[in-house]
Structure 1
Amino acid sequence: MKTTTSAILALLVCLCTSSLLAGDLLVEAESFTNHGGWKLDTQFINEMGSPYLLAHGLGKPVDEAKTEITFPETGRYRVFVRTKDWVGQWDAPGSPGKFQVAIDGKPLEETFGTESAEWFWHDGGVVEIDKKDVTLSIQDLTGFDGRCDAIYFTTNVNTTPPSSGSQLAKWRKDQLGITEDVKTEGPYDLVVIGGGYSGMGAAISAARMGCKVALIQNRPVLGGNGSSEVRVWAMGNIRRGKYPRIGEIVDEFADKATKSPGTYEEFEDQKKEKLVRAEPNIDLFLNHHANDLEMQDGKIASITAFDTRTSQVRKFEGSMFCDATGHGTIGALSGALYDQTDKGRMGMSNMWRWDEADQEATFPETPWALDLTMKDFPYPRDHHGQWFWESGFDLDPIQGAEAIRDWNLRAVYGAFNAMKNRDGASKHKNAELTWLAYVGGPRESRRLIGDVILTEDDIVAKRDFKDGCVPSTWSIDLHYPKKEFADKFPENPFISIAVHDRRVDRSYGYPVPYRCFYSKNVPNLFMAGRCISVTHEALGTVRVMKTCGMMGEVVGKAASLCKIYDCTPRQVYEEHWDEMDQLLNLPGQARRETVEAEIEMPTTLLPASPYGPPSGLNPTKLTGIVIDDRQAEKIGKWSEGTGLKGYVNHGYLYSGEKGAKVRFPIKLEKPGKYEVRYAYQPHENRSAKANVTVGLDSSRETKTINMQEKPPIDGGFTSLGVFTITPGEESYVEVESDGNGNIHADAIQLIPVAGK
């Protein structure tokens, strides 16, 4: 018995010693000191567990990534590389993401990126390490988006690392020794997660109103879809409606790009970062991904984020939190109520551009890309693959995001292959692929639920909410697969079409209520951006970036009242809206050091917005569809006037110059019969014979109006008749001066005629 016991003890000692003597070394690819030409991709951390390096070389191998490492001991090590064959899920021929791992410049025999449709530990075999300090490098072989997550060395040659899930996450933390090393930041008055337009607007606005703010962004640049990484130009009109000062902060950082995608320089990443860092009340944390949180008494107590380059974990404590992630990530983690359209969502785009080289340029064959000819996609005019290169309409926008992005890459590479190597080759000998967004531009995923869920009917009917504050001026713009390009790939079409409902006031804007900007059931959670409380249809108008930025401005001001009164976002609406109204009327550059300090006004105010509250009749209060003179096309010399009262919106136009014209365009979503009315104000110097023409496709009908006489219809309108108007046809109302007296052009009104 004694001998048996001794043997068992000896065996246990042997096993423990063997385990303890095993030398392990985990090297996260993102921690490499020199990334070379590899890109740090942080988009899919929630899906696959970590950031990784991406060899996005557009078909040309990128410079190697390298770093210095120290082994715990010399000897024989088994090598594992976490990677995948990124086209494997589609059984595509070839492996475009091939790369090698080298030690002191000598590549291992195994080529990586060639196996498994899912992320896994690719066994690289056993190597002999004869010195502790070496240079480790990752060498790209193709330039076609090879990806490396981590490299693991172990002297226990019979082991395999955990493959996925919580086991992998815990194992990684243990290997890196970061389980106890959590840095606490704060407490902050407002923690903003997401550094796009909405997050920047919230952080700057709150900071200028005296709040201590943390701004957390998981990319190296600010701007989100409006950064140089994605290059979606900033749309949506600002500084108008009930609160025309809202949008002044957005105007400070918004890009001035003239095309989408524009150039790197147009998106001014450095300007955005400089503006944020200039605010003493903001602590900016770039390259930090928020992936966990703590709740206390139903509220968010803290957010946990890790540095995507070093894995350093930070905990951000705060009173208020703002989800500006776009995906509603923080809301979902906190248990906030949310909705998500299952089918027919707007998708993700990856725009691209090509240019003409000085000499003939080649492009590798791409048998693993989508099998395309020139007829399978819209020709990229002006050298741009624009917003409509979009897919993922019916796919999971969260857990399936990497696959959606990769499908988009396959579509672009397949299209350029058609241009270079197939039926477009003769025309594109000098064509060179110069940019392709590897960071996706998602449009829709989770929508967090607030006290108001804004609907399409609310917007079209111009429902007046007491707390309406952010003007949405974009049409209700929803994207669907474009049929002529969808037949070949019905499982995931990659070209979209925009369907517009233009019944949104493009000048004054529809005021989105504040109650869409905070969670219904998590008391200290704000949201701003495309994850606010709206329906799928209403998202079509509020989702553009300048509008999202204004949401952030409103949230920031509300957060300062939460700090002053120790109250919730809901209580700002219920108990402190008069004070909120005052803050919303402040200039964007007004500031105070703390919430208790006096507000200091800027030395020089921006001029008042011409699109603020109407000084005349509010077009949003009039029946039917109103098209104002500011939406009309002008030819010749016209003057703006406000002297004749009773005008629509902000004023009117007048001209006595012969041949001067004003044309009011008519754009409708639904066909039907409409009474068309024309607005003018009478005066003795007006023309007694003003010719006003209604143009419908190829037909014209002209009515002569005596503009010296008072219009017969309330509001200063006269009827031009009833017309059948068909969407898609050229339709307009035009007035032209003959030089005999002033012509008055104010607005037109379209009244649906029922039962005719």
Structure 2
Amino acid sequence: MDHKKTFKLKMDMKRNLMILFLFITFHATAQRYVYVEAESFENKGGWVVDQQSFVVIGSSYLMAHGMGKPVKDASTTVTFPAKGKYRMWVRTKDWAPFPTGPGKFTIWLDGKQAGQVFGESGDVAWKWYDAGMVDVQNEKVQISLKDLTGFNGRCDALFFTDAPKFTPPNKLEDLNALRRKLLHQSAAPGDGGHYDLVVIGGGIAGTCAAISAARMGLKTALIQDRPVLGGNNSSEVRVHLMGDVDKNHYPKLGRIVREMDNGDPGNGNPDAKEYGDARKIQIVKAEKNLSLFLNTHVYKLEKEKDKIIAVTGRDISTNKELRFTGTYFSDCTGDGTVGYLAGADFRMGRESKAETGESLAAEKSDSFTLGTSNLWSSVERDTVSSFPETPWAMQFSDEYHIDQTKSDWEWETGFGNFNTITDAEKIRDHNLRAIYGNWSYLKKSKAEKYGKQELAWVAYIGGKRESRRIIGDHILTQMDIQEGKLYPDGSVTATWTIDLHFPDARNSKYFEGQEFFASTKHIKVAPYTIPYRCLYSKNISNLFMAGRNISTTHVAFGSTRVMRTCGMMGEVVGFAASVAKKYKTSPRGVYQQHLPELMNILKGE
């Protein structure tokens, strides 16, 4: 045999043996990982899915919202790659560590507690906690979350690994990469479809926009990040509709708002059915041109130059993603989320008098915004009940407490102390500490009045008032409102007062910098019209908006923000989108070239 061939054969065999050795070694020492998102649990028991802080923590999570009574276990079955010992990590937080937090819960594997009690000691920030080693004796394991208090314990995810030195990352960018890798999420989301108009946000404004467009013949998508429609008017938030629809210059406006209207159950009514969640969904599903996507949080956007081409939404429970393409988009999120992702010009906070010329404007511009409410209510029972001590909550006294059996709009946190978008969880938690602390005081110190009263409902979804305002071709001002200026494109007729909230003086005295109770001074106005130019972005060419994020100053926003008015904005957007499609033009092109046709639609002609 040729010596060169013999040598080559030996080298090839040696190389192949080395490759085989490395292959075997890799698999013999390969670490195993199991990642479980809590919001994806098959049986959520009494736990609720909270997505309000998605922009901060990159995920939804499960929360035990029991109002002081432990909720039923959440559970799911997880398949492990092999039996054996794993280190368990739990991503959670101690939401009110004063000094010991109230959100206590434990984790059980196949009927046995694993790890320590979570949520009672630690950090107010979200992070991974080392729960020690667990012995997995079955490849299919039932995992349960057991709430111990009913006071809003929360769990984002569980992570199991047999890698001895691996710690899951807390940095959001790294954590999102780990999530995607271990959950086997495809780099390409599913196809949500192509639409003439994609409406993001299923409050009254967005729902009315989607219905209006669909009835004008547009193929329309309505994407909502909660399981119900109506936003602040849903059973999750329970704010009644305000603003008039019967004083319009254009009688065609307000018809869809009336369909959405479930009467006036007031704010914080303990009966969820009073807010008509099911009926709102039925009305939407009856529209043949309208596709509804509930529980879908839009967090990513694609753009070409000044035009949006697609948005991507993630299911808040399953984490499956869908990509929606469209000709036009409407930001009805309230927070101006789509506009922000697209790079639309926006404003957040108060303008100064020098900037706007408004007498009601602030002396200096700042970040002050109207706050967020978490309403609550109690009901009278036949027997006396107690309520737990709440040393971790805000503390009340005979000198200062709020003597109410239910809340109203005044229970509000924000006022520039918190960012209503990035601090949404902090705001809600601050509200909960106020509600529970006050209620605990009333039950203990005013037993004659409150002994038989039981806390029946507390909102865990915050009812926001103000955040981003997307800038359009016209910015509505105090002067536009009070002088009743009727522009050629004046569309929605608004009637609500200029209603700007600020901290209640007595609340500020006792909780300076931590206010949760508001006051207001209503500045009455005559009916006035909102120009169509306030309903589309000045620098994103195919973006409409309707709701509280339209183009106004902070002062003018105080009047335009109520829901019947916002619903009529949505109706106008639907009509304008149909004109835009007809002429293959932009929202601005409708104003510049086809305004008479739009106004004729509003007149019912």
- Normalised by the length of structure 1, the TM-score is 0.74
**Residue number among 546, 550, 557 corresponding to 1:532 in the alignment:** 550
Which residue is 2:574 aligned to?
Answer: 556
Q: In 2, Cα distance between the equivalents of 1:206 and 1:15?
A: 61
**Are 1:443 and 2:465 matched, yes or no?**
yes
Equivalent position of 1:221 in the other structure: 228
Provide the secondary structure at the position in 1 that maps to 2:282.
helix
Mapped pair 1:109 → 2:115:
yes
Tell me how far apart the structure 2 counterparts of residues 379 and 136 of structure 1 sit (CA, whole Å).
42
**Counterpart in 2 of 1:264?**
272
Q: How far does residue 396 in structure 1 lie from its aligned partner after superposition?
A: 1.1
1:280 is aligned to 288
Residue 30 of structure 1 is matched in structure 2 by 39
Provide the residue aligned with 1:376 in structure 2: 400
The corresponding residue for 1:418 is 441
The answer on whether the counterparts of 1:374 and 1:419 sit within 8 Å (CA) in structure 2 is no
Shift of 1:344: 3.1
Query: Aligned residue for 1:711?
Result: none
Residue in 1 aligned with 2:590? 572
Q: Does 1:466 align with 2:488?
A: yes
Given that residues 403 and 442 in structure 2 are in contact (C-alpha distance below 8 angstroms), is that contact kept between their aligned partners in structure 1? no
Distance in 1 (alpha carbons) for counterparts of 2:259 and 2:136: 55
Counterpart residue number, 2:379: 355
* Cα deviation 1:619-643 (Å, max 9, x = unaligned): xxxxxxxxxxxxxxxxxxxxxxxxx
Structure 1 position 375, deviation (Å): 4.1
Shift of 1:55: 0.4
Matching residue within 317, 323, 328 for 1:315: 323
Cα separation, 1, equivalents of 2:118 and 2:468: 35
Q: Distance in 2 between matches of 1:16 and 1:461?
A: 80
> Quick one: structure 1 residues 569 and 497, their matched pair in 2 at CA, closer, same or farther if it must change by over 3 Å?
same
Answer yes or no: is 1:480 the counterpart of 2:502.
Answer: yes
**Shift in Å, 1:121:** 0.8
| Corresponding position: 1:391 with 2:413 | yes
Quote the offset at 1:377 in angstroms: 3.7
Amino acid at match of 2:342: S
- The structure-2 alpha-carbon separation of the partners of 1:93 and 1:449, relative to structure 1 and needing over 3 Å to count, comes to same
Structure 1 gaps, min length 5: 588-756
Which of 532, 536, 557 is the equivalent residue of 1:514?
532
Distance 2:464 2:595 in 1: 34
Q: 2:101 — aligned with what?
A: 95
1:234 aligns with 2:241: yes
After superposition, what is the alpha-carbon deviation per residue over 1:320-376, rounded to whole angstroms, capped at 9, x for unaligned? 000000000110000000001134321001111111221110110000000112543
Paired residues of 2:200 and 2:330 also in contact (CA < 8 A): yes
Q: Who is 2:216 aligned against?
A: 209
Shift of 1:492: 2.0
Letter in 1 for 2:216: M
| 1:244 aligned partner | 251
Match of 1:40 among 49, 56, 59: 49
Aligned residue for 1:369, secondary structure, equals coil
Deviation at 1:471, TM superposition (A): 1.0
Question: 1:611 aligns to what?
Answer: none
Contact 1:233 1:255 in 2 (8 A): no
In 2: Cα distance, 1:125 partner to 1:119 partner:
19
Q: 2: distance between equivalents of 1:318 and 1:207?
A: 14
**Alignment partners' CA distance in 2, 1:247 and 1:349:** 26
Which amino acid in the other structure matches residue 224 of structure 2?
Answer: Q
SS, match of residue 106 in structure 2: strand
Deviations 1:638-657 (A, max 9, x none): xxxxxxxxxxxxxxxxxxxx
**Could you say which residue in structure 2 is the equivalent of 1:77?**
86
- Change in CA separation of 1:279 and 1:345 when aligned onto 2, cut-off 3 Å: same
The separation in 2 between residues aligned to 1:568 and 1:491, in whole angstroms, is: 45
The aligned residue for residue 356 of structure 2 is: none
- Which position in structure 2 is the counterpart of 1:129? 136
Distance in 2 between residues matched to 1:281 and 1:375, nearest whole Å: 58
Match of 1:453 in 2: 475
Distance 2:21 2:347 in 1: 55
What amino acid is the match of 1:127? Answer: V
**What CA distance in whole angstroms lies between the structure 2 residues aligned with 1:164 and 1:18?**
29
The 1:15/1:516 distance shift into structure 2, 3 A limit, reads: farther
- Report the Cα offset of residue 493 of structure 1: 0.5
Pairwise CA distance, 1:398 = 1.2
CA distance in structure 1 between the aligned counterparts of 2:222 and 2:367, rounded to whole angstroms = 33
TM-score (structure 2 length as normaliser)? 0.92
| RMSD of equivalent CA atoms | 1.9
- Greater shift in the superposed pair: 44-53 or 256-265: 256-265
Secondary structure of 1:142 counterpart: coil
SS at match of 1:479: strand
C-alpha distance in structure 1 between counterparts of 2:277 and 2:234, whole Å: 6
- Are the counterparts in 2 of residues 328 and 531 from structure 1 also a CA contact under 8 Å? yes
2:370 pairs with 342, 346, 349, which one? 346
In structure 2, what is the equivalent of residue 716 of structure 1?
none
Aligned to 1:544: 562
C-alpha distance in 2 between matches for 1:180 and 1:470: 42
| Helix, strand or coil at the partner of 1:576 | helix
Match of 1:49 among 38, 58, 64: 58
Q: What residue is the counterpart of 1:651 in the other structure?
A: none
- Please give the alpha-carbon distance, in whole angstroms, between the structure 1 residues aligned to 2:589 and 2:134: 64
* Mapped partners of 2:519, 2:21: distance in 1: 67
Larger Rg over CA atoms = 1
AA aligned to 1:214 is A
Task: State the Cα deviation string for residues 580-600 of structure 1 (Å, max 9, x = none).
Answer: 01211239xxxxxxxxxxxxx
SS in 2 for 1:108: strand
State the distance in 2 between where 1:112 and 1:166 align.
Answer: 25
Check whether the contact 2:575–2:598 (CA below 8 A) recurs between aligned residues.
yes
Q: CA deviation at 1:425?
A: 3.2
Q: CA deviation at 1:20?
A: 6.4
| Alignment of 1:164 onto 2:187 | no
Contact preservation (8 Å) 1:181, 1:312: no
Q: Contact conserved, 2:189 with 2:312, CA < 8 A, in 1?
A: no
> Once the 2 structures are TM-superposed, how far is the Cα of residue 392 of structure 1 from its aligned partner?
1.2
Match of 1:599 in 2: none
Q: For 1:177 and 1:559, how far apart are their aligned partners in 2?
A: 38
Asked whether the equivalents of residues 486 and 528 of structure 2 are also in contact (C-alpha less than 8 Å), the reply is: no
**Counterpart among 389, 396, 411 of residue 365 in structure 1:** 389
How far, CA to CA, are the matches of 2:305 and 2:420 in structure 1? Answer: 31
Given the superposition, is the C-alpha separation of residues 459 and 16 from structure 1 closer, same or farther in structure 2, using an over 3 Å criterion?
Answer: farther
Displacement of 1:16 in angstroms is: 7.0
Shift of 1:426: 4.0
State the secondary structure of the residue aligned to 1:110: strand
Give the distance between the partners of 2:28 and 2:317, measured in 1 at CA: 30
CA shift for structure 1 position 427: 3.0
How many angstroms does 1:109 deviate by?
A: 3.3
**Partner residue, 2:341:** 333
Alpha-carbon shift at residue 472 of structure 1 (Å): 0.9
Residue 18 of structure 1: how far off its partner (Å): 6.4
Deviation at 1:181, TM superposition (A): 4.8
- Tell me the CA shift for residue 69 of structure 1: 1.2
SS of equivalent to 1:578 = helix
Match of residue 606 from structure 1: none
Q: CA deviation digits over 1:219-238, x for unaligned, max 9?
A: 00000000000000011101
DSSP-derived class of the 1:539 partner: helix
Confirm or deny: 8 A CA contact 2:371 2:465 kept in the other structure: yes
2:440 is paired with a residue whose SS is helix
Residue 514 of structure 1: how far off its partner (Å): 0.6
Alpha-carbon offset, residue 14 of structure 1: 8.7
**2:203 alignment partner in structure 1:** 196
Cα distance between partner residues in 2 of 1:232 and 1:426: 30
